Structure formats: C-alpha cells, structure tokens
Amino acid sequence: MISKGLFKKPKNELEDHHWVKRQSDPAIPSELCRSCPSCKQLSFTSDLDNNFHICPKCGYHFRINGRQRLNMIIDPGSFTEHHQNLISTNRLEFPGYEEKLEQATLFSHENEGVITGIGKIGGYDVALFVMEVTFMMGSMGQVVGEKITLLFEYATEHHLPVIGFTVSGGARMQEGLLALMQMAKTSGGVKRHSDAGLLYIAVLTDPTTGGVTASFAMEADITLAEPEALIAFAGPRVIEQTIRQRLPKGFQRAEFLLEKGFVDGIVPRNLQKDTLIRLLSLHSIPKGGDDHGSL
Amino acid sequence: MEAYKRVALARKKTRPTGQDFINNIFTDFIELHGDRYFGDDPAVITGIGYLLDMPVTIIAQERGKNTKSRIKRNFGSSHPEGYRKALRQMHLAEKFNRPIVCFIDTSGAFCGIGAEERGQGHAIAQNLMEMMSLKVPVISIIIGEGGSGGALALGVADEVWMLENAIYSVISPEGCASILWKDPSKTKEAANCLKLTAQDLLELEVIDEIISENHRDFKNVYRELKLNLYKRFRKSQILSPEILTQTRYNRFRKFGALDITK
C-alpha cells in the first residue's frame, strides 16, 4: 500500500500524461504470441523463433524475412554480402515510385528486394541469394535483376554452386519494360553458370509468382519448395478473373507442383539446411583436371 | 501521339496478324506443328520458309482474324505448348543453321488452369535461357501487342524491332491501373507511365529499330521487313556463334547496369 502523500500529484496534464504512458509500457514485448493463419492457434513468439518459424501445432510455415532465412541456412559468421548498396532510381519517372521505395526501405531495413553474397553451408562454399518479401513483395526491378545476375557471374567465374531462395510478386511494374528485361538478363546469367557445369539449387518459398517464376526460379538444376508455398506464373486471383470460376483447393501450391512434376521435392524449413548439405556433398566430386576441388 | 491511342491501334481488330506477315514476307512456307510433349498450340504458328533465297525458321504469334479463328487461336494467348513448340523449332533451326524470325503479337501468356498445371512459368523460363545461347541469328519483331513475359518468351533476340504502332509492356495498362491505383478509369494515365510505345522503348534501348507504318496499308512494311531481315541475316552470317551469343548476352546484360546508384 502506498501511503497518502508519498508521491506528488501531477501538476499539469503533460506530467499526468507522462505518468500514464509509463504505466502502460510494461517490459513485455508487444508480440509475445502469434496466431497461426492456418490453424488459428496461438504460439509463443519465442517458440516460433526456436522452431524455424513453423507452427508447432500444424506445421504452417510463417513468412520470414531474408536475414532470418540467411541465419537458418548459412554457417554462422561465414556470409559476405555483395553489392548491398545498390539502390533503385526512378528512371521512368513513374508517379509515386520514389515514395514506395522509401517506405519499402524503412519497412524492410533493406536497400532492395534481394540479398546476395557468398558463404558456407555445412562447410561447402556457395554463392547465395535470398529474396526479401518485405521489400515491395520481393518484386524484380533493375537492382534485383542486376544483383542476381552479378551473383551468377561471380559464381561462374569462381566455380561456385548457387543456392537461391525465391519469393516474389513478379516483375516490378513501376520500372516498366526495364523490369521485364531483367527476366532475360538473369536467365542469361543462369544459362552461362549452367553451361559451365555448375550446380544451381532453387528453393521456392511462399509466394513465388510472375516474372520470377517465369525466369530464374524455374531454371535450376534442382528445384525444391517449402510446404504449401504458392508457386505460380499468374496468381490465383488473375486466373479466377480470367476464367470466371473458383480454383480447386491446393491449386498452385507446392504439393500441386510436385504432383505435376515441376519441383523435385518439398522440404520443410527445419530440414532445408541438412538437405542442401547432402545435395552439395553429392555434387562435390572434383572433375578430372579441375583443381578447384569443391564443385 | 498519346500512348493509349497506340494501345488501341496495336489491338485493332483489322490490324494484320502473324499469318499475314508470314504470307507477305516469305515464300514456300511450310507449317510445322506440335511441341512433342502434349499438343499443338494454335496461338503460335511455326515453320520454315524462304526469305528471298535464304531458308529461315519462322515463329509467329497469331491472334486470329474473325470470331471463329480468334477462338481457335485463343486470341493469341499461348499455353505452355506454344512456347515449347517454338523452342523445338529454334533448336531445329540451330541444328540446320537457319536464322530465326519471331513475330510477337499477344496480350500475354494465357492465364488458366491448364496453362498453370503444365508449367507456363517453366515454359517461358526455358525459352529465355535457351534463346540466350542459340548459335544462329535471331530477330524478333513486335507487330502488335507485346504482352509481358508471354512476349519476351519469343523476344530474346540479337535485335528487337517494333512496328510504329505496336506496344510492348510489362503489364497491360488496364492491369496496371487496377493493381496500382485500384481504379480502372486511369488506364490512359497508366499507358503513359508504362513507357510502352516504340518511341519510348527506342529511347530506353529496349528495341533497336522502329518500322514506320501506314496502318491502312502494310505493303511497305512487308517490303521493308523483307529487305531489312535479309540484309541483317547476311551480315550475321559471317559472325562466329561465340560472337553472336556474346553480343546477345551483352544486349540484355546492359539493362539496369548503368542507372542504379552504387
């Protein structure tokens, strides 16, 4: 019990306000729990953090950002980022694009929709790209296309396999045809890497659509997918509008693509690193006369 | 001219279609059907014919001329089979050392259940990758509407030409207006912003040449194309496959390399 007169009564409204504000600011993180969009059950955020952001009750894979993904896949401390300072300009002078870029940068804490670099996975040297869903839905403009192409060129030059995690709403319409050209440009990079006899593994995550599906996401030697990820050329809404009928359940999900023969396997997030290590190991037999050792 | 007027002209029902260009530019054309996996896509016509005295492979998107043929051709929107058929012909062209001409005229790759089921994205992606390293000369010409990935899937070429009233866009102006501004009435504004006219795209170096047209009479267009294609292919004949593919790679590599801040 607090005895009367121990604390001074607030003199003015401002002080009062301050007092109220402090009182309502407990040392508990605002997001203690998250509700699963699939089974609606609540889980502690800390539990999710320790479980690869997979719902412990139903196995739903929460969407995560690029850095979180990077930390799950790459050996700690081994990652060197490339070209992180490339930022987009509004060459077409598309109305509102600068503001959108600014908001996206603030929201995502990234400069663009993809993180690229080199690092180790289970001790194997790899070139890695991870697309960033929080930056304008991972849409592909000139910088995304440039960073991915630069990565494939680097990997070709240094005889490295490429591991790529895709998530994208497609080509970025604010960059017009220059965004479309990135599909051709990145495909060129993939092709040269492939012609050099090097391995490219793509992991398609939710959602991978449009111009990214129609370019480097579907050009890998081995294509893996996360459970229930939406993988499409045209998104479900566009198709429903075009053909004016409801789509069957599970249409364009990873399991559907597996059934139709467009992905090699579905790998839950907690097994991805292990699967990648096994695949890298199976491809690491040195070729005759090649003194580059791993791949 | 306002961008949207070009959009209307490019989509005009009386505008010549892929088949007209084939009939008026080439002789002895033989159509070759099918993708050898699933079926034959009537939205794409492929075959071989003579360009003057030179055998060439011809690939043309065809939107149809009347209601019946438009339905048959699916209004020029290909399924994955269309792209796979085109790729099959491109590989044959490579084997027999024939140059390739692609005529682009589509509102986009078809969006439907079957198309997705059979890998529309995969089909386009494979074309982009394979076209990049074709060892024979490739010229793509946008004759009407160049709709996004569905157009680019035949557009990875040594040179891309465009008819004066054709358009080439990452998304339809209608789609752009409704997605970005949630307002379909802003279609004209979207058409302006997207920089989809031949003139805009020449400035952005996305295309290499504009073919001027009198949109009531295409005789001059056919004649100019015939001569230009012939001259261009004759010039390419002396190039080695390495130079050809390197030049094509560089052509697409340049987009976005210069105008981003480091």
Residue A77: give its domain's CATH number.
3.90.226.10
- Supply the pLDDT for residue A3: 56
Which residue among A146, A173, A187 sits closest to B129, beta carbon to beta carbon? A187
Q: Is residue A15 part of a domain?
A: no
Partners of residue A214 in chain B, C-beta under 8 Å: 109, 120-121, 124-125, 128, 149, 153
Which residue among A146, A179, A248 sits closest to B170, beta carbon to beta carbon? A179
- Structural contact between residues B122 and B94, judged by C-beta atoms closer than 8 angstroms: no
Partners of residue B171 in chain A, C-beta under 8 Å: 171, 173
> What order of strands is seen across the sheet that includes strand A222-225?
A80-82, A114-121, A124-131, A162-168, A200-208, A222-225, A265-266
**The pLDDT of residue A293 is above 50:** no
**The pLDDT of residue B5 is above 70:** yes
Which residue among A87, A191, A218 sits closest to B121, beta carbon to beta carbon? A218
**The pLDDT of residue A138 is above 80:** yes
For residue B168, give the nearest of B59, B6, B14 by alpha carbon: B6
Nearest CA distance, A157 vs chain B (angstrom):
16
User: Which CA distances in Å does B126 have to A188, A191, A213, B75, B229?
Assistant: 11, 10, 11, 23, 26
- Structural contact between residues B110 and B79, judged by C-beta atoms closer than 8 angstroms: yes
- The average confidence (pLDDT) of chain B is 93
Average pLDDT on B138-153 reads 96
User: Helix or strand or coil: residue B222?
Assistant: helix
Q: What is the distance between the alpha carbons of residues A165 and A287, in angstroms, rounded to a whole number?
A: 27
Whether residue B260 and residue A260 make contact (CB cut-off 8 A), yes or no, is no
Whether residue A217 and residue B153 make contact (CB cut-off 8 A), yes or no, is no
Nearest CA distance, B171 vs chain A (angstrom):
7
Whether residue B170 and residue A171 make contact (CB cut-off 8 A), yes or no, is yes
User: Helix or strand or coil: residue B133?
Assistant: coil
Partners of residue B104 in chain A, C-beta under 8 Å: none
For residue B59, give the nearest of B130, B117, B164 by alpha carbon: B130
**The pLDDT of residue A29 is above 90:** no
Q: Is residue A48 part of a domain?
A: no
Question: Which residues 70-109 of B have a C-beta within 8 angstroms of A?
Answer: 109
Average pLDDT on B54-80 reads 95
ipTM at complex level: 0.95
Nearest CA distance, A127 vs chain B (angstrom):
20
Total domains present in chain A: 1
**The pLDDT of residue B179 is above 90:** no
Partners of residue B113 in chain A, C-beta under 8 Å: 239, 243, 247-248, 251
- Structural contact between residues B86 and B32, judged by C-beta atoms closer than 8 angstroms: no
Tell whether B125 lies on the interface with A, counting CB pairs under 8 A: yes
Average pLDDT on B151-159 reads 97
**The pLDDT of residue A18 is above 80:** no
Q: Is residue A8 part of a domain?
A: no
Residue of B111, B181, B182, B202 to mutate, interface with A, max A Cβ within 10 Å: B111
**Percent of chain A at pLDDT above 90?**
71
- Supply the pLDDT for residue A19: 46
Does the annotation list A33 as a binding residue?
no
Whether residue A176 and residue B196 make contact (CB cut-off 8 A), yes or no, is yes
Q: Domain map of chain B by residue range?
A: 3-249
Partners of residue A211 in chain B, C-beta under 8 Å: 148-149, 170
- Supply the pLDDT for residue A21: 45
Whether residue B253 and residue A178 make contact (CB cut-off 8 A), yes or no, is no
**B90 vs A20 pLDDT, higher one:** B90
Cα A261 from chain centroid (whole Å): 23
Q: Across-strand partners of A81?
A: A117
Question: Which element (helix H / strand E) includes A246?
Answer: none
**The pLDDT of residue A22 is above 50:** no
State the residue range of the domain holding A68: 63-282
User: Helix or strand or coil: residue B157?
Assistant: coil
**A86 vs A9 pLDDT, higher one:** A86
Q: What is the distance between the alpha carbons of residues B60 and B45, in angstroms, rounded to a whole number?
A: 5
Q: What is the distance between the alpha carbons of residues B161 and A243, in angstroms, rounded to a whole number?
A: 33
Q: Tell whether domain B3-249 is in CATH 3.90.226.10.
A: yes
Q: What is the distance between the alpha carbons of residues B160 and A226, in angstroms, rounded to a whole number?
A: 38
Nearest CA distance, A90 vs chain B (angstrom):
9
Residue of B129, B145, B172 to mutate, interface with A, max A Cβ within 10 Å: B129
Tell whether B238 lies on the interface with A, counting CB pairs under 8 A: no
Nearest CA distance, A75 vs chain B (angstrom):
28
- Supply the pLDDT for residue A20: 45
Whether residue B255 and residue A173 make contact (CB cut-off 8 A), yes or no, is no
- The average confidence (pLDDT) of chain A is 88
Taking only the tens place, the pLDDT of each residue in A140-160 is: 999 999 999 999 999 999 999
Q: Is residue A259 part of a domain?
A: yes
**The pLDDT of residue B112 is above 50:** yes
**A245 vs B215 pLDDT, higher one:** A245
Q: Is residue A139 part of a domain?
A: yes
pTM: 0.90
Q: What is the distance between the alpha carbons of residues A198 and A221, in angstroms, rounded to a whole number?
A: 9
**The pLDDT of residue A10 is above 80:** no
- Supply the pLDDT for residue A289: 46
Nearest CA distance, B126 vs chain A (angstrom):
7
**Percent of chain A at pLDDT above 70?**
86
Q: Is residue A174 part of a domain?
A: yes
**A56 vs A26 pLDDT, higher one:** A56
Render chain A in DSSP notation, one character per residue: -PPTTSSPPPSSHHHHHHHHHHHT--SS-S-SEEE-TTT--EEEHHHHHHTTTB-TTT--B----HHHHHHHHSPTT--EEESTT-B---TT--TTHHHHHHHHHHHHSSSSSEEEEEEEETTEEEEEEEE-TTTGGG-B-HHHHHHHHHHHHHHHHTT--EEEEEEE--B-GGGHHHHHHHHHHHHHHHHHHHHTT--EEEEEEEEE-HHHHTTGGG--SEEEE-TT-BB-SS-HHHHHHHH-SPPPTTTTBHHHHHHHT--SEE--HHHHHHHHHHHHHHT-PPPTT-TT---
